Amino acid sequence: MSDKDKKKGDAPEFPEQVTGMYILAHALKNVGLDCMYGVCGIPVTGLSYLCQEYGVRYIGFRFEQQAGMAAATHGYLTKTPGLLLTVSSLGFMNGLTATVNATVNCYPMIQISGSSAREPVDMDQGGYEDLDQLNVAKPLVKAAYRVNKLEDLPIAVARAYRAAVSGRPGGVYLDVVETMLSETVDRDVAEKWLFKPVDPCPAMIPSAESADRAVDMLANAKRPAILLGKGAAYAQVDEKIKTLIESSGIPFYPMSMAKGLMPDNHPLSALSCRSTIMEKADVVMLVGARLNWLLERGHGKWNPEGKFIQLDIDPVEMDRNRPIAAPVIGDLDSSLSLILEKLKGRKLAMDADWVPGLQKETKEKNAEFARRLAEHAKDRPMTHWTALGAMKPILEKNPDVIIVNEGANTLDDTRDTIDMFLPRHRIDCATWAIMGLGMGSCVGAAIATGKSVVAIEGDSAFGFSGMDFATICRFHLPVTVVVFNNGGIYNGIGVNLSHNGDPAPTTLDIDAHYEKIGEAFGAKGYYVTTPEELSAALTEAIASKKPNFIHVQLAADSGKQSGHIGYLNPEPLQNIIV
């Protein structure tokens, strides 16, 4: 309006004002973060609405921890940070468990949490939902920042992004103070603060010397093996890994979430020969895998004369448990490029009978495994093996379905039974061996990739996240949740030592009808008691591309304590829990 058009009495014109929430939403968009998982409430409800308005997709959950599992899975599958939005105090704490788990697993994610006004927190005056969230988060996550000033918001988002994805990926906490979120500033001023960070995940080039050392060791090995971890799957260097393995002819062993990075049935797969690899290999090349508990103790014994090459982005990972003879520090893309170049034309000293020996063992073990599945096909009520035997051919016919898997026996037996053929198609309990990642991971996987998901869940594991099946339904995601109900933690036959008739500590609900949880939210529910019914239900469910819920009734005595890791569970008395 020009001065001339203004009538007497018109309100004076002010520059357009924007809030902290506006700046934050735009800063996220600016770094390319356009999907957020969360549970809104005070003080971030307005932020969730603004994010939607400005094109950041908002996926609302029932439980912050599950929203966090979704964000973590999103980060793992896309190599960009997944976003989690939480409210102050308990919402923050609920979400933090997932952010910490992401940090342990090296998945990039950013938890943005509203926090209450600073002064009453610092003075311990009993403010609304008061908690010093920054200092709670700080020791547990990769990086943590608190934003008190509007102009710091774009800087904070850029730093959080860099911290989450660069170097070893992890979880980052971003604390946004309620009073700052609602502050206002001229729009023109705010626009000038916004910027796009340059090269937020820079390449980390390994030294030529470290690559030479690794290549020499590999070339001179008699019984070499390549151990692939979820860091290798995360790095999205699928072609380079394939070239390394196929051009060298060195056998590989995938850790759980690296299954499918190379097809499980590849002629060089030593998936069925874990003990032989550990006991006999003279050089093991770790690619994005850590020598932690999963590769020690009850999980086998390494050849005392064996040596390790380790390709990792984090220098501090070297010599963590065992001396690493050839550390190669760099991002896997750069490290593998260099190693492939240096391996070209090198003659390998590998024993001629190493791979044929592993292939013979694989054939024998696989035949034995098939015999076991066939033997259990007639179990009624069904056991884990009956159910998995029925699911195996269907899932293997649909290799592009992402599998989410948790439980004790349900986890171990599924991992052993279902072959994987594509990278990043298996999400599970990972490094901490946690329970309670199910529904959130299903949502994150389906949203991040647009693919169909099948969750294979123990009945106990499902209970941790079950309510967020509602989120799967609300967003019409192509997710089928399969619950293996054997009526308890490990199984449903815990010996009852109570003096008052209370159920045993490990006993849950063998007679429950979990499929009705699916039906309650509009999904198709199936209750199956035979492998034929399970096959039919799973086939129909995957084809529907809609939310489905399959309750698989198992025998209460199917499954043993802690699955494959019973040795970690001290028992009060022998033979109490079978």
Return residues touching ligand ADP (CB under 6 A).
105-106, 168-169, 229-231, 234-235, 255, 257-258, 288-290, 292, 294, 312-314, 317, 331-332, 431
**Is 74 or 290 the residue whose CB approaches ligand ADP more closely?**
290
Helix axes 153-165, 20-30, angle to 10 degrees: 40
Q: Are 433 and 565 in contact (CB under 8 A)?
A: yes
* Alpha helices for 476-571 (secondary structure H): 515-520, 531-544
459 is in the binding site of which of ligand ADP, Mg ion, none (Cβ under 5 to 8 A by kind)?
Mg ion
Q: Are 162 and 200 in contact (CB under 8 A)?
A: yes
Report DSSP state, residue 8: T
431 is in the binding site of which of ligand ADP, Mg ion, none (Cβ under 5 to 8 A by kind)?
ligand ADP
Question: Can you tell me the distance from the alpha carbon of 362 to that of 368, in angstroms, rounded to the nearest whole number?
Answer: 10
178 is in the binding site of which of Mg ion, ligand ADP, none (Cβ under 5 to 8 A by kind)?
none
458 is in the binding site of which of ligand ADP, Mg ion, none (Cβ under 5 to 8 A by kind)?
Mg ion
Question: Which run of H or of E encompasses 394?
Answer: helix 384-397
Q: Between β-strands 479-485 and 524-528, what pairing exists: parallel, antiparallel or unpaired?
A: unpaired
**Is 201 or 348 the residue whose CB approaches ligand ADP more closely?**
201
**Is 34 or 333 the residue whose CB approaches ligand ADP more closely?**
333
Q: How far is the CB of 431 from ligand ADP (least distance, A)?
A: 5
93 is in the binding site of which of Mg ion, ligand ADP, none (Cβ under 5 to 8 A by kind)?
none
Q: How far is the CB of 459 from Mg ion (least distance, A)?
A: 4
Side-chain-side CA neighbours of 226 within 13 Å: the count stands at 28
Question: Which run of H or of E encompasses 19?
Answer: strand 17-19
Q: Which residues of 423-456 are buried (b: 16+ CB within 10 A; e: fewer)?
A: bbbbbbbbbebbbbbbbbbbbbbbbbbeebbbbb
Select the residue interacting with Mg ion from 458, 478, 531, 563 (CB under 5 A): 458
Determine, following the binding rule CB under 5 A, whether residue 463 of this chain makes contact with Mg ion: no
Q: How far is the CB of 424 from ligand ADP (least distance, A)?
A: 12
Residue list 313-352, contact with Mg ion (CB under 5 A): none
Determine, following the binding rule CB under 5 A, whether residue 486 of this chain makes contact with Mg ion: yes
312 is in the binding site of which of Mg ion, ligand ADP, none (Cβ under 5 to 8 A by kind)?
ligand ADP
Select the residue interacting with Mg ion from 331, 412, 459, 468 (CB under 5 A): 459
Question: Can you tell me the distance from the alpha carbon of 505 to that of 240, in angstroms, rounded to the nearest whole number?
Answer: 48
Within 8 A by CB and 6+ apart from 124, the residues are: 130
**Is 131 or 422 the residue whose CB approaches ligand ADP more closely?**
422
Closest to 444 in 3D by CA, of 110, 37, 28, 79 = 37
Contacts with Mg ion: how many residues (CB under 5 A)? 4
Helices and strands counted in the chain (H then E): 22, 19
168 is in the binding site of which of ligand ADP, Mg ion, none (Cβ under 5 to 8 A by kind)?
ligand ADP
Q: How far is the CB of 257 from ligand ADP (least distance, A)?
A: 5
**Is 428 or 468 the residue whose CB approaches ligand ADP more closely?**
428
Site for Mg ion, rule CB under 5 A: 458-460, 486
